[in-house]
Structure 1
Amino acid sequence: MEVPFFPTLFSSVRSLVVRQAFFPTLEEWLVNHPKIHGFSWNSGKTPGSSPRFLSLTVVSYISFTFFLSQVSRPSLARPLLRSISAIHNIFLATLSFIMALGCLVSIFSQVPNFRTLVCFPERTSPSGPLFFWGYIFYLSKIVEFMDTLLIILSNSMNRLSFLHVYHHSMVVIMSYVCVDSAQSSFSMVLVTNCAVHVVMYTYYLMCTLGVRPKWKKMVTDCQLLQFWASFLIMAMLVFYHFTGSGCSGILSWCFNAAFIVSLLFLFSDFHAKNYSPKLNPKYA
């Protein structure tokens, strides 16, 4: 059985993209480069791949965040803090764009059809271009811990919410689990997440440079749209899993499904409190 519409759409878009003159160049750099094409995730051997590393990283992040939020902190000069923030936002916006592009090119180059994109065959090995970009995505989530440090150093403690710390700590675990278990459809979630982060870090960069864009609400809207898209992707994964021979990483899918449900609830609550006309007169 096939999910209607999406397989035809994927096939049409894939055929159109691979015929473009620029595609072979992108494929050479983002798919066929030896470091990318030959990538293989080996738990405990690949840098940052051990459960101990993951545990220590997340516990350290939560501990340092709590500690630094409770003690008197060094005060950085505003120009220095602005420069660090600008570099951080430029780096993550650029990296997010590269990851999204690299994963998209890998999908069009390596994935033969929509069913395989959503449902990797059971016992799929986490190797090759798709999982290389998944690995970089996992490492990027550790780099994003810098978001929290910048909030603390700027003394903007009202921005250091439970949602912020929960999201940053749990998304690292989610990314690790996805790559380690070769979870099906992870590449699609990666592309949507990175696309949203390009928008988000561009917004943060403009704020850092003294420009206040009028599309702040759009950032949260994009995040909510991403979560709903993830639900659609996960629903199709379940459909293919039970109508075929099974999908890779179905157990990790259960963990990620619960995590995305919690994020949808928290971000929806944040959206309502900040943008509801009844609660925020600015949007009345």
Structure 2
Amino acid sequence: RSMDAAAAAAATAAGAAPDFMDSVTSPASGASFNLFSPDAWLAESYKALGYEKSEWRWVNGVSPLSTWREVGIGMALYLGTIFGIQFLMKSRKPFKLTKLAQIHNLGLTLLSLGLLVLHIEELAPIISKGGLFYAICSEEAWTQRLEVLYFLNYLTKWIEFVDTVFLVLKKKPLQFLHVYHHTLTMVLCFTQLNGHTSVSWVVITLNLFVHVVMYFYYFLASCGIHPWWKKYVTTLQILQFIIDLGFVYFCTYQLIISRYYPSSGLPFCGTCAGTEEAAIFGCSLLSSYLLLFIQFFQRTYSKKQAAKRQKQKTQ
């Protein structure tokens, strides 16, 4: 650090202000540390746990929860747990779980926000230097640093299973959309990690943004505050899936045409990274989400509006 101090003194003598960041050192390694970089803090967290973030890679069968067997067991445990609790709660009074719900919802709000900021930090230079097509289709756009974030996002889908546990303990009705969405979003994240689909960041960042809004709403509701904008959370989710599908259909089209029909005369921009299986599964699942959320919106809000208008007519 004596050389750093000398350099800073020389810069000051030359009329330039010393770089504050040069004086900050990593608490774990003593190396230069960017205080304002979320990724730097994440790397420090890894070091505190005894890992080197820059060396981590998703390896099927080696990384945690990286096999179809683990995913299948997770799905079975989730479904068995929620329906088992629902059965046991039939003759019992509902639990309130107010404090636990507040902690859970606020925790997921902050976790989603943190991951969103981390993704933006990584994606901004990729998009600005390579362009949007590069960012969603190039194999080089699937970076090691993004892979770490995709894995952390995948882990949050396991944490979100707790949402449903709270619902059944409070004896709230279980909707097919809720269970279907929670179960298969975890599978979607798993398949995209395996498939190395570079467009994954579009779906993930939009989902994280929606979850910041959604879990913050749930936190307020668990505090007894019921904002007027509940309806717009569902609207935001529908908009999310429309944008998702625009990107994933485009990328899947590029992938299939460039690999199998390059001489067909059909227009395409170039190839897209990822496996066909991951691309088709993503397209199919996100399409089903869009249809189910539109159906939910119509059933929940359109009927309420119709009933409200009918009530006004009879008054």
Q: TM-score, normalised by structure 2?
A: 0.74
Query: Partner residue of 1:6?
Result: none
Amino acid at match of 1:145: F
Structure 2 contact 65–71 (Cα < 8 Å) conserved: yes
List gaps (5 residues or longer) in structure 1.
1-20
Query: Cα deviations across residues 77-128 of structure 1 (Å, max 9, x unaligned)?
Result: 53xx10000000011011111111111111124453212211132xx79661
Query: Partner residue of 2:132?
Result: 114
2 CA distance for matches of 1:89 and 1:27?
A: 22
2 CA distance for matches of 1:168 and 1:267?
A: 13
Query: Cα deviations across residues 130-155 of structure 1 (Å, max 9, x unaligned)?
Result: 11111011110010000001111111
May I ask how many residue pairs the two structures share in their alignment? 257
Aligned-residue CA RMSD (Å): 2.5
User: Is the deviation greater in 51-60 or in 30-39?
Assistant: 30-39
CA 1:30/1:252 → structure 2, altered by over 3 Å: closer, same or farther? farther
2 CA distance for matches of 1:187 and 1:258?
A: 18
Query: Partner residue of 1:155?
Result: 171
2 CA distance for matches of 1:194 and 1:247?
A: 22
Shift of 1:214: 0.3
Q: Which has the larger radius of gyration?
A: 2
1 CA distance for matches of 2:167 and 2:58?
A: 33
Shift of 1:207: 0.5
Structure 2 contact 94–171 (Cα < 8 Å) conserved: no
Shift of 1:68: 1.6
* Counterpart check, 1:259 vs 2:285: yes
2 CA distance for matches of 1:102 and 1:282?
A: 44
* Counterpart check, 1:167 vs 2:181: yes
Structure 1 contact 30–106 (Cα < 8 Å) conserved: no
Shift of 1:229: 0.6
* Counterpart check, 1:63 vs 2:77: no
CA 1:153/1:27 → structure 2, altered by over 3 Å: closer, same or farther? closer
1:268 counterpart (294, 297, 310): 294
CA 1:276/1:153 → structure 2, altered by over 3 Å: closer, same or farther? same
CA 1:280/1:227 → structure 2, altered by over 3 Å: closer, same or farther? same
Structure 1 contact 86–205 (Cα < 8 Å) conserved: yes
User: Is the deviation greater in 101-110 or in 180-189?
Assistant: 101-110
2 CA distance for matches of 1:206 and 1:283?
A: 29
DSSP-derived class of the 2:164 partner: helix
Shift of 1:30: 6.2
1 CA distance for matches of 2:101 and 2:234?
A: 20
CA 1:246/1:148 → structure 2, altered by over 3 Å: closer, same or farther? closer
Shift of 1:32: 6.6
Shift of 1:49: 1.2
CA 1:125/1:43 → structure 2, altered by over 3 Å: closer, same or farther? farther
Structure having greater relative contact order (Cα 8 Å, sep ≥ 6): 1
2 CA distance for matches of 1:97 and 1:151?
A: 24
Amino acid at match of 1:100: L
2:99 counterpart (83, 92, 99): 83
Amino acid at match of 1:208: S
List gaps (5 residues or longer) in structure 2.
1-20, 22-33, 47-51, 259-267, 311-315
